[in-house]
Amino acid sequence: MPDTARPADSAVGEREIARLFALQRQAFLKDPYPSREARLSRLDALLRLLDRYENDIVKAISADFGSRASEESLIAEVIGSISTARFAKKNLARWMRPRKVPTPLHLAPARSRLEPQPLGVVGIVSPWNYPVQLALGPAAAAFAAGNRILIKPSELTPRTSDLLKKMISEEFDESVAAVIVGGPETGAAFAAVPFDHLIFTGSTTVGRKVAEAAARNLTPVTLELGGKSPVILDPSADLARAGRSIAYGKMLNAGQTCIAPDYILAPKDSRDAAVDAIAAAARDLYPEIDTTADYTSIVSDRHFERLKAMVEEARAAGARIVEVGSSNALHPQRKMPLTIVVEPPPELRMMKEEIFGPILPVLSVASTDEAIEHVNSGDRPLALYWFGEDVSARDKVLMRTVSGGVTVNDTLMHFAQERLPFGGVGQSGMGAYHGDKGFETFSHMKPVFYQSKMSGGKVLQPPFTPKTHQALKFIRKII
């Protein structure tokens, strides 16, 4: 479909956003600490919606993209969201319990605890590339923490956004959860609301604008952005195994994944073998790539033209290009071959921007140190992937590079592990969620100090006496 926003008359105005926010804020003030049963009920409602609308979700996403395999949407959107909600249910009792904090001897016999407290109203700005999972995943975490939620989904997937609005309205009163649809103006108004927490998933460019709008209200933000996530192939890597993992990670959703491998750093003497291994794996994964429904379309004309321009720029610069699939067959479907670009010059657009499509630059490096230097010369990526069996080389990379997350000898899988926090660092984002971290992100971990009747603190209060100095000497020894 064309890359256009909704007509102005379909956008939700600032007045409606303000109404819903005020409604939820008032409801929260009346019930600031929902019971475990209430939170479980909200998570169960999400699970019912995912079960009831599974087929509709698959159809809406495929229609928005132009083509997306039902299996891909089931795995990434439905099952992923179910996993998050079920994990929250399973761990909710533990998460809600106050956490004991050791109290030092000089403050004994007082007690200290961290008491998780709901924040209030959480805003969720979700992207187009995984329009259900990246809306309902944060929603599950926010519900578990006892919050109310407003969701602003992307205008680039309007059918899915409308479906989300319908789904949420069926199971939730507006005072608990609501979806606001609309274009960029609606998104800007949404980000300007004084939420108790705002989570945004999307591009770094838009993320900056969201952070600026939130800062005016001192709204805390979690920004899940992107960047150029590298793959480092060690000389000890099994190229066939690595090639399949890389091809899958890059071609899932046609590379329209924030943690998709963005480029490869391969040893000079095995660079061409790595290219061959990735291409062979891609042909194995998509043997009928020109005609199969298993391979996803690019979401919009604008993004499609951007990717084609990247390839043409590389071709004009003389880079070697290996395509898996036929451009002539795929382009009319708004699809692209897996396009491996060997040794593209550093000034090319694909080497400066996050690619977000099935284009894969491959660069050669002389050593692990050179690979590390290359990664560290750019912005800190959202993900980093390392392949090999050399433990010392692996640990050197892990210690000397900074990235949001890492998967060793595979791609994408750190995102799927609910017990690992997911988030960026530097230009790839701030804050994290998933699992325990998600509950903590959407909670205020309130420190509470319980003083004892047996407290000896009076000895440190005026009027000061020799006993005060004796007490101070004692405290200096034990702290």
Write out the catalytic residue numbers. 224, 258
- Report the relative pairing of strands 338-342 and 359-365 from DSSP bridges: parallel
- Of 325, 297, 320, 308, residue with least CA distance to 157: 297
Query: How many other C-beta atoms can be found within 10 angstroms of the C-beta atom of residue 193?
Result: 22
Do residues 85 and 43 touch, judged by C-beta distance below 8 A? yes
- Of 411, 271, 248, 261, residue with least CA distance to 342: 271
Number of alpha carbons in the 13 Å side-chain half-sphere of residue 202: 23
CA angle 441, 447, 448 (to 5 degrees): 145
Q: What is the DSSP secondary structure assignment for residue 155, as one 8-state letter? A: T
CA angle 267, 280, 314 (to 5 degrees): 65
Phi and psi at 227, nearest 5°, equal: 115, -170
The C-alpha atoms of residue 324 and residue 282 are separated, in whole angstroms, by: 7
- Report the relative pairing of strands 148-152 and 177-179 from DSSP bridges: parallel
Task: State whether residue 103 is helix, strand or coil.
Answer: coil
Do residues 321 and 221 touch, judged by C-beta distance below 8 A? no
Which residue has 């933000």 as its token pair? 221
Query: How many other C-beta atoms can be found within 10 angstroms of the C-beta atom of residue 174?
Result: 16
Locate 359 and state its tokens.
Answer: 């284009």
Q: Which residues contact 337 (CB under 8 A, 6 or more apart)?
A: 289, 323, 324, 325, 326, 327, 330, 358
- Report the relative pairing of strands 422-423 and 432-433 from DSSP bridges: antiparallel
The C-alpha atoms of residue 197 and residue 28 are separated, in whole angstroms, by: 14
Do residues 381 and 375 touch, judged by C-beta distance below 8 A? yes
- Of 303, 351, 383, 309, residue with least CA distance to 129: 303
Position 424, amino acid: G
